[in-house]
Structure 1
Amino acid sequence: MRFTILKELFAGFVRTRGIGRHFRRLLLLDSLAGTGVSREVPPTLSQTLIAAAKSDPDALLKQLDSHPHGLSEAQAEAARERFGLNEIEQEKPLPWWLHLWHCYKTPFDLLLTLLAVISYVTEDLKATIVIGSMVAISVFIRFWQESKSNRAADKLKAMVSNTATVIRHDLAEDAMEDARRYFDVRLHPKEPRKVEVPIRQLVPGDLVVLCAGDMIPGDCRVHSAKDLFVSQAAMTGESLPVEKFVRLRDGAMSNPLELENILFMGTNVVSGSATAVVVSTGNRTYFGALAQRVTSTDRTPTQFQSGVNKVAWLLIRFMMVMSPLVLFINGFTKGDWTEAFLFAMSIAVGLTPEMLPMIVTSTLAKGAVILSRQKVIVKRLDAIQNFGAMDVLCTDKTGTLTQDKIFLANHTDVWGKESDDVLESAYLNSYYQTGLKNLLDVAVLEHVEVHRELEVATAFRKVDEIPFDFTRRRMSVVVAEHDRHHLLICKGAVEEILSVCSRVRHGEADEPLTAELLARVRAVTADLNEDGLRVVAVASREMPPDKDTYAVADESDLTLIGYVAFLDPPKESTAPALKALAAHGVAVKVLTGDNELVTAKICRGVGLPADTVLLGADVERMSDAELSRAVETHNIFAKLTPSHKERIVRLLKANGHVVGFMGDGINDAPALRTADIGISVDTAVDIAKEAADIILLEKSLMVLEEGVIEGRKTFANMLKYIKMTASSNFGNVFSVLVASAFIPFLPMLPMHLLTQNLLYDISQIAIPFDSVDDELVKNPQRWNPGDIGRFMLFFGPVSSVFDIATYCIMWFVFGANSPAHQTLFQSGWFVEGLMTQTLVVHMIRTQKIPFIQSRPGTALLVTTGLIMAVGIFIPMGPFAHYFKLQALPLAYFPVLIVVLAGYMVLTQGMKRYYTRRFGWQ
């Protein structure tokens, strides 16, 4: 149970690529499965946390060489030198030599190296040089491309840095305090400074200021708190946020996970505020302790990675079948088992997709760089393919469908008449709250004239605050006016405010809230909602001035005084973006905690059908089976809680959809974690940014539409390479099998196959930069290894038809029909084989007629053209004897043109048949 919980913690805390800046998200705990590594808190860490929990706050600060006003800059720097950065040690980027080793240690390159060694032992130096060159070039290209993509990803991720608010003070203040105590002089020390520092720079002893939405940046002890609720469900299994206190209520508690004044790295603040002293950072945290105990293994493959691996193993299975066949056929027919073994090894190499990692990485890196120019930051490169596969996008309403700017449109009394008293009360509430100020608060605070008229700075003093949470959906502040009385002002959702009201204000008098008045209140707010306004109710209650601390229980017997109504008009780009997404097969579903009337009004304004809206209460009543059907027929969901959003996303995934979720608030974090692709914005709260795979610098659906297209282009180019490699290699090996059975010599030497394979791979380097047909980006795309296998079996033998035709031409027309003339035969097939292999790049990159209906990218056209020229130059030039080839007669080339033309015509015909029967992609 604890393992599952901790796994969710990792998934929610960090969503980064394999070599991240802070912490790996799922890898460490996934790799614990099936091992002997303990998931319990290490004993030394337990003792440290329990000791910190039981210590007096001031004594703990002294123990950590800290101060009630925080560390100074010099102290923080010294502690950083002592403890290091607040990051997991294993997560530092790999050194270049280790990265180079990872690029080399693929099964394909190891196989090539083995073949090179065998060639060297058998004193075939030329083959050794060619094979060694192939390994070196392949590894270098992969290393260079991955290094480049990692640097690009690091630059992008650096734009999304998380920070913590810490308290800093000057050491001179200590001297001032000592002087005050010694001379009994009243000095007024400066207030400690609050500064933002990157999380990775935090050190033990730092005093951290926390409020709603903040991530806990290290293992901390609460120093002071006000209604602090922390979500640590992923760590302890508690479904609801837990309240944290300064002191332990049970001093005998021995389980660190249950300590009421300890905050764990990776959890997040739901509501309230606090200051906490950092006890441990990096590897010394509970999070880091687990990371240290796990060997550095690759994380559990994503759906994208699994698809790539399945395709690679499909080709390897073909290799494991074909290579032994070639070995035994050549061994028995030629009698030279050594040569047969070398040739079989060459066949194995020819079937291996050795360039697959490089093509995939460079294609994804190119997509990430292009998206960065479109204000999209890709935190995890594999997410690009999920972007292209996405067929359902769940999004909030505010700031996405509507403008990211809220205007205060009305401030009315209970009866709908304009009221300055309501505006003043709302202003005081927004001004004095210390929690996460939303757009509604910002809109209220823009009325600075209220500040002057009320003389807020001199007439009012804040007494206390009851922070907002997503269960109550309201928050309150208590202010004292000239210290005569206390006034509790509560602001929040209409229904939640009404639930704690017993009276309504009518003019100067208060009246009991009867059923008739309640119906009238709801009618007034409904009218405002139908006008597209977001309505927030305001209530108040006078309290005696003899109380300093207030709690949720004090939010009762309130008087409803009116409403503030906000306008959030739709963006002009929303309707076109929704049409564009629909045209590309992406259904948009709106998941919001807002009122259903406002939501329906906005949705109708942007062209989304809003006939039926499913409410959070309906979601709560439905079973999973019922909701699973409802999510397919409904597009608008209103008044949802965070758990409702997460449940809807989870069931959409269970229905077979690839689901994207776009959100930026604390309440969006669970759904962001659950979605196939989490999308947030740079202005989102920390926990939302950490949970996301994609960060938008502009909160716009139009930007998402561009990202979807780029994701599909990226996938299409990767699929091109796989189809080309699969069909071409299979056809080549099939031709070798036929030739081996009937020809008394090897149809091609091992070094010929390897040279041909090397040139063919170089011709495909430009595939990531190829253009993509519009038809290939219209619909979501997913991996289907079964289709790859079928494609291979259909198109591989097409090239074999013309290979066999070349055999016959060389045998009967040019007289290459004996071991004495095998070099001529091998030269003829070398050129024809390379030409057809290179042409297949253009034939299979599109279902249209190549060069006429679909033009390749310039880079691909140049590389394939150069490789075809090199392929002809090798036997015709001065280096032919190094490759054991010879010049071909000029009469060969007209025949070659006819063969290639026939190959293109037959391949185009097969493409049409295949597309009609199975579809192209």
Structure 2
Amino acid sequence: MNLNLLKDSFVRFVHAHGMDRHFRRFGGDMFSSTPTPNEVPPTLAQHLLKAARSELPALLEQLHSRADGLTDPEADAIRLVVGPNEVEHEKPLPWWAHLWQCYKNPFNLLLTVLAAVSFATEDIKATVVIGTMVVLSTLMRFVQESRSNSAADKLKEMVSNTATVLRHDLASDIADEALRYFDVTLHPKGARRIELAIKKLVPGDIVQLSAGDMIPADLRLLTAKDLFISQAAMTGESLPVEKFVQHRGAATNNPLELDNLCFMGTNVISGSATAIVVTTGNQTYFGALAERVTATDRTPTAFQLGVNKVSWLLIRFMMVMSPVVFFLNGFTKGDWVEAFLFALSVAVGLTPEMLPMIVTSTLAKGAVALSRKKVIVKRLDAIQNFGAMDVLCTDKTGTLTQDRIFLERHTDILGKPDDLVLEYAYLNSHYQTGLKNLLDVAVLEHAELQREMALASAYRKVDEIPFDFQRRRMSVVVSEREDHHELICKGAVEEIVSICTHARHNGTVVPLSAELLKEIQETTASLNAEGLRVVAVAAKDLPPTKEIYSVADESELVLIGYIAFLDPPKESTKPALDALKKHGVTVKILTGDNQLVTAKICRQVGLTVDGMLLGSDVEDMSDADLAIAVEKTTVFAKLSPDHKERIVRRLHDNGHVVGFMGDGINDAPALRAADIGISVDTAVDIAKEAADIILLEKSLMVLEEGVLEGRKTFANMLKYIKMTASSNFGNVFSVLVASAFLPFLPMLPLHLLVQNLLYDISQITIPFDNVDKEFLEKPQRWDPKEIGRFMIFFGPISSIFDIATFALLWYIFGANTTEHQTLFQSGWFIEGLLSQTLIVHMIRTRKIPFFQSRASWALIGMTLIIMAIGILLPMSPLAHYFKLQGLPLSYFPWLLLILGAYAVLTQMMKGWYAKRYGWQ
């Protein structure tokens, strides 16, 4: 097919069906009216209804597709028309919108108001300095976030979700014949099956679905087998909805109620299907919802709430202190305009305008550091939650164990080796196409299966009853001879035994008596106690009267025996668990596996099992009882997805910061409920989508490194807040004392602004600072009360030495008249700036700075540069412009004495404070 003709015809198809406004490349408003929630926009609804009601050959023709899919060039041509399969909120903001986001924080808005007031009062210098602070803060955040977002996008591409897509083989005409007869199968002959990034899908693509898959676009089903879809995100329905090739319900004009459509953003719970992509990206119903909510901010996370509380603490402090400074100077000096400008400068000095930039750059640095350790951060805020995590809930398989399951035994119902069990298990695993798992891989890769492979070729697959988490089993129906069918079922022992009426014992089929059931339970318990994961195999013969089977056919089976798997523990698990425990993280096991197997593995890796609960126990407990039980229970076994979610929520409600690590479809609810969801790059799509952090290596050692990096990130953010809060409080306290006694301002508004600007620049390297090991030993959280108390205790210390500087300048250097106020102001400018930069090193550690704990070279270097600028500025040619003057050399020995005494007193206060309140 000529690709230009294809492109032109697709454009005509878009226009003919009223879809012009759906495709951004054609411009215009996407929807002509505002729909109510959960209502499909009118134009899109008409298009989806038409696709749902069309005959399948006609729909394929309309979408220029075939039963075995598009060719690669055809898909590329269509993508040029419709764009990538991405919804609006997933795309990066345009630079101007991102710049606005970086600007609009409380501090920048406040500073802008202050700059406007300065301009209105003709204080141009103050306006320039304040404006510079706003511009620097905004641009630094913009540049840092742009770099961070770019790096994050590259990292996320490494774990992008994919869809299984059929591609037409250009060398084959079989697809055209399939179109004519429309005998679509899960594997149309002549098609290539590929894994394609979801964003590359286009209308007309043929996709295959199985349990755990996300629906990658709005789809029309071509085939479906026991297909259950969770549509809770779209419709609020709590129960999965079964889908069919043809609509079976009442006639409706609401596409969401149609049985043969699947929607982007939903996911497959069980079953399998093939479907054709009808709409992609913003043209999907999910995209329609996304466009309406892009302007709405997300609900703040615990991290954001913590930052906001701290920010407003500082803003409230500023709003109280600035008026006090204004009135005190107005009454004592009599110049209300000058007093107002000075109070304005104090307000600027109290505003930690660099906080957003420090937070962003610290988080971004943490994300980059984690990426080097094979941890990909999807959401930057999650890093701090990583460090705050004190309970980690995790599955057993692949975390405590090697995630390499071996088929260890195949036995009859009483534990004797039996090759017939292996043959049945192989046929089941070979022909099943639903939920892929490691057990099937282990069966198919078993070393003894050359004979079984030849055996499978003698059978024809008739049908399949896919796995789901309620039944915990799956079946295939095969036929060796056309005179009968064989249903082969494998799954959890309890579920298989519950549908068996007979058992194969010593080569004969016998009724399943109470005595035999007891022996079966003892045999499987013995295998579990050895650490083996046991799967039962059952079968029955059926007459060849039908080609479609359902769950109802899984009855009156004959129990054949068991296949037992070994999932040995990792060598690194025990040291990793010890490290997490050392760092204050409690590990709890939440698994759907057998309790005996889980207990055995826990013993092997040294995890102390203080208590164990089964899913049935959780089911019977009230929320209040479960909230108590989760605190004293280490292992939860035989859990359903709902049980896992409920346990995580109870731990969260108890005040824990809960991490959950999972990779299966059954883990998705718990991943969403946790404070920090952790998954792996090999996880099913829905698990990766629900997670905040993706591990490229499924290991607890990697988790421990992530926890430490999260705590380093939090420590460096907290340093800035503590330094800024305490030094600002001390400066204001000093200003109040000086204003009450001096006949002139202790420092001009311009001096305060320049000092604050230099101090802020000195802080930009804090994200790269070292962190003491003691800070990493236990989880850390935001505590505004602690920050307020810290400010009150450490702020006045600097005021003591500010007052000592005032006395020195007043009595020793004679700066005690209005004529000599420039000398006074220059002396306090230098002492104030140096004490502020010194406090950076004093407060960044509980230890003795420079000796027991040294800052990073970047922070030391920036501190020295800013101190040098502060000392040299009054002596430079710019001194006159800033209304400063050079100080006599005899001032500097006194200055060293004051700064030394300040450091000693601060260190003594740190010791007393840490003993009484701790050192966060």
TM-score of the aligned structures, taking structure 1 as reference length: 0.92
C-alpha separation in 1, matches of 2:895 and 2:428: 84
The AA in structure 1 aligned to 2:679 is S
Residues in 2 aligned to 1:295 and 1:476: alpha-carbon distance in whole angstroms: 44
Task: Mark the CA change 1:423 to 1:394 in structure 2 (over 3 Å): closer, same or farther.
Answer: same
CA separation in 2, counterparts of 1:330 and 1:94? 46
Shift in alpha-carbon separation, 1:323–1:201, aligned structure 2, 3 A: same
| Map 1:389-408 → 2, pairs under 5 A | 389-408=388-407
Which shifted more, 876-885 or 266-275? 876-885
Worse-matched range after superposition: 880-889 or 629-638 = 880-889
> 1:569 is matched with which residue?
568
Q: Distance in 2 between matches of 1:738 and 1:401?
A: 62
> Are the counterparts in 1 of residues 67 and 188 from structure 2 also a CA contact under 8 Å?
no
> In structure 2, what is the Cα distance between the partners aligned to 1:401 and 1:176?
47
Quick one: which amino acid aligns to residue 674 of structure 2?
A
Distance in 2 separating the partners of 1:769 and 1:189: 56
Structure 1 residues 741, 594: CA separation in 2 closer, same or farther (over 3 Å shift)? same
Do the aligned partners of 1:498 and 1:560 also contact (CA within 8 Å) in 2?
Answer: yes
Q: Which residue of 2 aligns with 1:317?
A: 316
Q: CA deviation at 1:173?
A: 5.0
Asked if the contact 1:489–1:539 (Cα under 8 Å) also holds between the matched residues in 2, the reply is yes
Q: Tell me what 1:538 maps to.
A: 537
Alpha-carbon separation, structure 2, partners of 1:321 and 1:212: 59
For residues 76 and 316 of structure 1, the distance between their equivalents in structure 2, rounded to whole angstroms, comes to 55
* Alignment partners' CA distance in 1, 2:260 and 2:804: 81
Q: CA deviation at 1:508?
A: 2.6
Task: Report 1:290-369 matches (<5 A).
Answer: 290-294=289-293, 296-369=295-368
Letter of the structure 2 residue corresponding to residue 413 of structure 1? D
User: Contact 1:219–1:278 at 8 Å: present in 2 too?
Assistant: yes
Gaps of 5+ in 1: 1-34, 183-187
Amino acid of the residue matched to residue 680 of structure 1? S
Superposed displacement of residue 176, structure 1:
8.7
Q: Is the 8 A contact 1:173 1:189 kept in 2?
A: no
Distance across 2 between alignment mates of 1:679 and 1:76: 34
- Determine whether 1:375 maps to 2:350: no
- For the pair 1:456 / 2:455, whether they are aligned, the reply is yes
CA contact (8 A) 1:577 1:705 kept: yes
Distance 1:758 1:385 in 2: 28
Aligned twin of 2:637: 638
Q: List runs of 5+ in structure 2 lacking aligned partners.
A: 1-33, 182-186
Q: Equivalent residues in 2 for 1:169-568 (5 A)?
A: 169-170=168-169, 173=172, 177=176, 191-294=190-293, 296-447=295-446, 449-452=448-451, 455-456=454-455, 458-568=457-567
1:138 corresponds to which residue? 137
What displacement does 1:151 show? 1.7
Query: Hey, what's the Cα distance between the residues in 2 that align with 1:814 and 1:123?
Result: 33
Amino acid at match of 2:337: T
Matched, 1:613 2:612: yes
- Cross-structure match for 1:791: 790
Q: 1:557 to 1:176 in 2, by over 3 A?
A: closer
Give the letter for the 1:81 counterpart. Answer: L
Deviations 1:282-330 (A, max 9, x none): 2222211122223524322111011111111111111111112222222
CA shift, 1:792, in A, is 0.9
The residue identity in structure 2 corresponding to 1:911 is K
Residue range with higher mean Cα deviation, 847-856 or 489-498: 847-856
Could you tell me which amino acid in structure 1 is paired with residue 646 of structure 2?
R
Tell me the distance in 2 between the aligned counterparts of 1:241 and 1:131: 57
Does residue 704 (structure 1) correspond to residue 703 (structure 2)? The answer is: yes
Given residue 875 of structure 1, which amino acid in structure 2 is its aligned partner? P
Distance in 2 between residues matched to 1:280 and 1:362, nearest whole Å:
38
* Alpha-carbon distance, 1:457 to partner: 5.3
Deviations 1:203-252 (CA, angstroms, capped at 9, x unpaired): 22222111111100112121111111112233333333221101111351
Instruction: Give the 3 Å change call, closer, same or farther, for CA 517–117 of structure 1 in structure 2.
Output: closer
Structure 1 CA distance for aligned equivalents of residues 737 and 98 of structure 2: 41
Deviation at 1:122, TM superposition (A): 5.9
Asked if the contact 2:163/2:197 (under 8 Å) is kept, the reply is yes
Give the distance between the partners of 2:232 and 2:367, measured in 1 at CA.
Answer: 33
Are the equivalent residues in 2 in contact too, given 1:165–1:209 (CA < 8 A)? yes
Task: Give 1:592's aligned amino acid.
Answer: T
- Cα deviation, 1:724-777, whole Å, max 9, x if unaligned, reads 010111111121122122111111111111111111111111111111111111
- Name the stretch that deviates more: 95-104 or 369-378: 95-104
> Deviation digits for residues 434-482 of structure 1, max 9, x if unmatched?
0122111111101264244552354111111111111111111111114
Which amino acid letter does the alignment assign opposite residue 749 of structure 2?
Answer: P
**Structure 1 residues 177 and 678, CA, compared in 2 at 3 Å: closer, same or farther?**
closer
Flag the 1:599–1:842 CA change in 2: closer, same or farther, 3 A: same
Match of 1:12 in 2: none
Counterpart in the other structure of 1:29:
none
- Report the Cα distance in structure 2 between the residues aligned to 1:479 and 1:457, rounded to whole angstroms: 10
Q: Is 2:93 aligned against 1:94?
A: yes
What's the CA shift string for 1:813-849, capped at 9, x where partnerless?
1111111101000000001101111111011111122
The question of 1:822 aligning with 2:821 is answered yes
CA contact (8 A) 1:177 1:189 kept: no
Check conservation: 1:392, 1:659, Cα contact below 8 A: yes
* Alignment-derived partner of residue 61 in structure 1: 60
Q: Secondary structure at the match of 1:669?
A: helix
Count of residue correspondences: 882
In structure 2, C-alpha distance between the alignment counterparts of 1:703 and 1:677, rounded to whole Å? 15
Distance 1:404 1:770, change over 3 A: same
With over 3 angstroms needed to count, the CA separation of the structure-2 counterparts of 1:454 and 1:574, relative to structure 1, is closer
Aligned partners of 2:836, 2:625: CA distance in 1, in Å?
A: 53
Percent of pairs identical after alignment? Answer: 73
Q: Is contact 1:173–1:190 with CA below 8 Å preserved after alignment?
A: no
Range with greater deviation from structure 2 (654-663 or 441-450)? 441-450
Q: Post-superposition shift, 1:594?
A: 0.3
SS in 1 for 2:298: coil
Distance, in Å, in 2 between the alignment partners of 1:124 and 1:365 is 37
1:547 counterpart SS class:
coil
Counterpart for residue 80 of structure 2: 81
Task: Please give the secondary structure, in 1, of the residue aligned with 2:341.
Answer: helix
Mapped partners of 1:181, 1:437: distance in 2 = 33
Aligned to 1:834: 833
Distance 1:848 1:122, change over 3 A: same
- 1:92 deviates by 2.3
1:399 touches 1:405 (CA, 8 Å); kept in 2?
A: yes
- Give 1:880 shift: 1.7
Greater shift after overlay, 739-748 or 248-257? Answer: 248-257
Which region of structure 1 is more displaced relative to structure 2, 831-840 or 868-877? 868-877
Q: Distance in 1 between matches of 2:916 and 2:354?
A: 30
**Aligned AA (1:675):** A
Aligned to 1:753: 752
- 1:10 — aligned with what? none
User: What do residues 644-685 of structure 1 show as CA deviations (whole Å, max 9, x unaligned)?
Assistant: 000000111011111000000010000001000000001000
Relative distance call for 1:327 and 1:37 in structure 2 (3 A) is farther
- Residues 65-74 or 202-211, more deviating: 65-74
1:411-437: CA deviation from partner (whole Å, max 9, x where unpaired): 111121111111111111111100122
Residues 36, 848 of structure 1: alpha-carbon distance in 2 compared, 3 angstrom cutoff = farther
Contact 1:491 1:537 in 2 (8 A): yes
What's 1:662 paired with? 661
SS at match of 1:628: helix
Q: Amino acid of the residue matched to residue 277 of structure 2?
A: V
Paired residues of 1:54 and 1:251 also in contact (CA < 8 A):
no
Check whether the contact 2:174–2:189 (CA below 8 A) recurs between aligned residues. no
Distance 1:177-1:602 versus aligned 2 partners, 3 A rule: closer
Q: CA RMSD in A?
A: 2.2
**CA gap 1:189/1:660 in 2 versus in 1, 3 angstroms:** closer
Q: Which amino acid aligns with 1:266?
A: G
- Supply the distance in 2 between the matched residues of 1:668 and 1:761 (Cα, whole angstroms): 45
Structure 1 residues 291, 678: CA separation in 2 closer, same or farther (over 3 Å shift)? same
- Matched residue, 2:743: 744
How much has 1:516 moved relative to structure 2? 0.4
User: CA 1:411/1:339 → structure 2, altered by over 3 Å: closer, same or farther?
Assistant: same
| CA shift in 2, pair 1:121/1:546, >3 Å | closer
1:851 partnered with 2:850: yes
d(CA) in 2 for partners of 1:412 and 1:733? 80
Q: Which residue of 1 aligns with 2:587?
A: 588
CA contact (8 A) 2:66 2:176 kept: no
Question: Given that residues 226 and 271 in structure 2 are in contact (C-alpha distance below 8 angstroms), is that contact kept between their aligned partners in structure 1?
Answer: yes
SS in 2 for 1:559: strand
